[in-house]
Amino acid sequence: MNEAKPKPSAKVSDQKPTREQKHLLSLEHIKKSFGDARVLKDISIKVDTGEVVAVIGPSGSGKSTLLRCATLLETFESGRLAYGDLTIAENDANGCAVYASKAVLKHAKTRFGLVFQNFNLFPHYTVLHNITAAPLRVQKREREEVVALAQSLLDKMGLAGKENMVPCELSGGQQQRVAIARALALNPQVLFFDEPTSALDPELTREVLNVIRDLAAEHMTMVIVTHEMSFARDVADRIVFMEGGVIVEEGTAASLIANPQQERTKAFLSHYGE
Amino acid sequence: MLGMLGEGFIVSLQIFCLTLLGSLPLGLLVAFGRMSRIKPLSIAVQIYISVMRGTPLMLQLMVVYYLPYFGFGIGIGDSYRFVATIIAFVINYAAYFAEIYRSGIQSIPRGQYEAAGVLGYSRAQTFFSIIFPQVVKRILPAVTNEVITLVKDTSLSFVLSVPEMFTTAKAIAAAQKSMVAFAVAGVFYYVFNAVVAFAMNLVEKKMDYYHE
Ligand SMILES: Nc1ncnc2c1ncn2[C@@H]1O[C@H](COP(=O)(O)OP(=O)(O)OP(=O)(O)O)[C@@H](O)[C@H]1O
Ligand SMILES: [Mg+2]
């Protein structure tokens, strides 16, 4: 479905960029509070095309809030958010984030997709309708093209033949795969996952993780919040460990898990790692 | 007698249909007002709802009918009886429907709004294609109750001497000094409600293709 995009190799990044490199996603110095609670304290993450970034951390560390800020479900008070050349929010002179116009935000929504922990499929729509609704209604694409794409996505998710079922007739793992297909149907440049398997039994978890693995193999750019450490290690290029609203440590998947530098990372991994 | 009652029934049916036609959409607007973040609007709507639910519909009919004359000195013609009846029924039922809509809308999980939002749906698109259809399914039993009550409530318009079925039955009973007209009217109401219940049941069945 996606053209295979080359992963940025060491060579490419060694080349001196002639002008400032445009990351597919950049979050810079994001600060976000709920009332008095400072949930994100100066978080910066950049994601390049084809990269898979896993975000790990204990409960309440702000992982979901970070994804929700990146997907415009929450607004942050300070910082910068951009998708490639599309700046979503930027600080003004006083250091307060100012968001772009509604039209820009709407356009930005075609650049990312979000897969929720509890799927959030539309229960009154069939599987096919769940996938085709947004491309048809929001992007106003051709029905034929959209339906064909939806069919091929369902094939890929191992859900061929389920087009006319409604979500309540599917298992959790199947529902989550429909949700992934729904997000992919908008041809996003980056896909966010917020604990995509936390609501699933181990067996169903596996089928969803396999789908995400396939996407990673095709160099789909993804940011995945997960508690599945071995999955993160296998699939992610980079792991970001968050705690208390800050990034404590980040590094390549293998090095961060095998050889964490920070005490807090070690403590967390000894709890969650296997 | 059957002919006269039949004519009365047509009037009752008109009151019933016009009330639904007016109060179902108005109720949705009222529900939005009730849930509005604009505090004065929300409070005003709350007061309206509590007055509509806390006072007798019969009294509301009288107020709506006499208000133009006693309140503003506007002469009211005979034709206003029917209009006043419809106005009173619509604003009364809108209040009840508003509370039903509100409970339905608030029962839809946040995740539905968020999923639609991330997919790029506008607020209006989200409401009308994602939220509202699910609300309808959830509130259908409560709406059915109100609709069945409405069938019976149409008889209250006898206080404004609107020539609907109950008014007619009363007149016939007084002239004939017999209960027969009431009994026949009762059968009419009963059958009317049976049809309504059957229709609502069909709609409910139609929405049975999914559950949450
Ligand atoms: N809408 C909200 N209003 C107030 N506080 C919130 C809200 N959303 C999140 N929080 C608080 O922000 C903090 C971070 O929450 P968040 O959901 O981002 O954590 P998380 O890392 O995703 O945790 P988990 O692993 O449990 O999903 C928590 O203390 C939470 O209580
Ligand atoms: Mg979370």
Please enumerate, as own/partner, the contacts of B194-201 that have beta carbons within 8 Å and a separation of 24 or more: B196/B144, B196/B147, B196/B148, B196/B151, B197/B144, B197/B148, B200/B140, B200/B143, B200/B144, B200/B147
pLDDT single digits (tens) A6-59:
444 434 444 444 445 679 999 999 999 999 999 999 999 999 999 999 999 999
- The token duo for B14 is 């008109």
Pull the structure tokens for residue B149: 């009550």
Strand A97-99, strand A86-91: pairing: antiparallel
Q: Which residues of A touch B116 (CB under 8 A)?
A: 122
Residue B40 contacts A where some CB pair is shorter than 8 Å: no
* Topology at the third CATH level for domain B2-209: MetI-like fold (1.10.3720)
Q: What is the tens place of the pLDDT at every residue in A197-237?
A: 999 998 899 999 999 999 999 999 999 999 999 999 999 99
Interchain CB distance below 8 Å, A166 and B210: yes
> A271 pLDDT band (50/70/90 cuts)?
confident
Contact A111, A83 (CB under 8 A): yes
Reference B153, options B66, B54, B45, B60; nearest CA is: B60
Residues of chain B with pLDDT under 50: none
The β-bridge relationship of strands A112-115 and A190-194 is parallel
pLDDT attached to residue A254: 86
Smallest Cβ–Cβ distance between B120 and the set A109, A121, A123 belongs to A109
Compute the nearest-CA separation of B58 from chain A (Å): 40
pLDDT at A4: 45
Phi, psi (5° rounding) for residue A118? -105, 35
For all residues of chain A together, what is the average pLDDT? 90
Is the distance from CB of A241 to CB of A256 less than 8 angstroms? Answer: yes
Task: Give the dihedral of Cα atoms A158, A163, A167, A170; nearest 10 deg.
Answer: -40
The domain spans of chain B are 2-209
Write the pLDDT tens digit of every residue in A243-253.
999 999 999 98
Interchain proximity A106–B112, CB inside 8 Å: no
Contact B121 A122 (CB under 8 A): no
> B110 — contact with chain A (CB < 8 Å)?
no
What digits encode the pLDDT tens for the residues B134-167?
999 999 999 999 999 999 999 999 999 999 999 9
Residue A191 and residue A207: Cα distance in Å, rounded? Answer: 18
How large is the average pLDDT for residues A102-118? 94
Res. A159 pLDDT band, cuts 50 70 90 = very high
Residue A272 has pLDDT above 90, yes or no: no
> In this structure, which residue's CA is closest to atom 17 in ligand 1?
A64
Q: How far apart are CA A123 and CA A127, in angstroms?
A: 9
| pLDDT at residue A14 in the model | 42
**Ligand nearest the Cα atom of residue A62:** 1
Q: Which residue out of B107, B110, B112, B119 would a mutagenesis test of the A interface target, given it has the greatest number of A Cβ atoms within 10 Å?
A: B119
Q: Any CB–CB contact under 8 A between A128 and chain B?
A: no
With bands split at pLDDT 50, 70 and 90, how would you rate the model's confidence at A1?
very low
Instruction: Name the residue at shortest CA distance from atom 25 of ligand 1.
Output: A59
ipTM score assigned to the predicted complex: 0.89
